[in-house]
Structure 1
Amino acid sequence: MHHPTTEIDLSQGFPPVKHETTEIDLSGGWPQHLKVPPRRAGAAPARGRVLGVDVGTVRVGLALSDPTGTLASPLETLRRAKDGSDLDRLVTLVAEHEVTEVVVGEPRHLSGASGASAVDAGNYAQELADRIADVPVHMVDERLSTVTAASHLREGGIDSRRQRPVIDQAAAVVILQQYLDSRRAPS
Structure 2
Amino acid sequence: MGGPVEPVETTEPGLPRGARLGIDVGMARIGLAASDPDGLVATPVETVPRVLAGTGKQSGKRPVRSAEGTTADVARIVAEAVDRFAAVVYVGLPRHLSGKEGAATADARAFAARLVAALAAAGEAAEVRLVDERMTTVSAHQALHAAGRKTKRHRSVIDQAAAVIILQSALDAERAKGERAGELVEVRTVHDTHE
- Cα deviation for residue 186 of structure 1 reads 5.1
2:83 aligned partner? 96
Instruction: Output the amino acid matched with 2:167.
Output: L
Aligned to 1:124: 111
Residue 88 of structure 1, CA deviation: 1.0
Alignment size in residue pairs: 146
8 Å Cα contact 1:153-1:163 kept in structure 2: no
C-alpha contact 2:31 2:156 (8 A) present in aligned 1: no
List gaps (5 residues or longer) in structure 1. 1-41
Counterpart code for 2:50: R
Is residue 37 of structure 2 the alignment partner of residue 50 of structure 1? no
Residue 47 of structure 1: CA displacement? 1.4
Match of 1:22 in 2: none
Q: Which amino acid counterpart does residue 23 of structure 2 have in structure 1?
A: V
Verify: 1:140 aligned to 2:127, yes or no. no
Q: Which amino acid aligns with 1:127?
A: R
Letter in 1 for 2:139: T
Asked if 1:72 is matched to 2:42, the reply is: yes
SS at match of 1:132: helix
Partner of 1:155: 146
TM-score by length of 1: 0.75
Greater Cα radius of gyration, structure 1 or 2: 1
What are structure 2's unaligned runs of at least 5 residues? 1-11, 57-64, 66-70, 179-195
Matched, 1:111 2:98: yes
Q: Which moved more, 1:175-184 or 1:75-84?
A: 75-84
Task: Say if 2:22 and 2:91, in contact at 8 Å, map to a contact too.
Answer: yes
- Identity, % of aligned positions: 45
Contact kept, 8 Å, 2:18 with 2:85, in 1: the verdict is: yes
Superposed CA deviations along residues 89-129 of structure 1, whole A, max 9, x for unmatched, are 11111111111110000000000000000000000000000
In 2, the alpha carbon distance for the partners of 1:181 and 1:162 equals: 30
Distance in structure 2 (CA, Å) of the matches to 1:159 and 1:57: 21
**Shift in Å at residue 43 of structure 1?**
4.1
